[in-house]
Structure 1
Amino acid sequence: MSVCVALAMLLSGCAKSPEPPPTASTRGAQLFKERCAPCHPDGGNVINPKKTLHGGVLADNGITTPAGIVARMRKPGPGMTSFDPATIPDTDAHLIAEYILATYR
Structure 2
Amino acid sequence: MPLPPPLPGRHIAACLAACLGMAALLGGCTESQKTGSPPVASERGAQLFKVRCAPCHPDGGNVINPRKTLHGGVLADNGIASPSGIMNRMRNPGPGMTRFDQGTIPDSDARLIAEYILATYR
TM bucket normalised to smaller: 0.7 to 0.9
Taking the aligned partners of 1:26 and 1:84, their CA distance within structure 2 comes to: 22
Q: Provide the C-alpha distance between the structure 2 equivalents of 1:97 and 1:45, rounded to a whole number of angstroms.
A: 16
User: Could you list the runs of 5+ residues in structure 1 that have no partner in the other structure?
Assistant: 1-23
TM-score normalised by structure 1 residue count: 0.77
Residue 67 of structure 1: CA displacement?
A: 0.1
Q: Which secondary structure state, in structure 2, belongs to the residue aligned with residue 39 of structure 1?
A: coil
2:109 paired with 1:92 = yes
DSSP 3-state at the match of 2:42: helix
Q: Bigger radius of gyration, 1 or 2?
A: 2
Size of the alignment, in residue pairs? 83
In the TM superposition, what whole-angstrom CA distance separates every residue of 1:4-56 from its partner, at most 9, and x where no partner exists? xxxxxxxxxxxxxxxxxxxx700000000000000000000000000000000
* TM-score normalised according to structure 2 size: 0.67
Q: Which residue of 1 aligns with 2:44?
A: 27
Q: Percent identity?
A: 83
Cα RMSD after superposing both structures: 1.3
Matches within 5 A, 1:1-105: 25-105=42-122
Off by >2 Å, runs of 4+ in structure 1: none
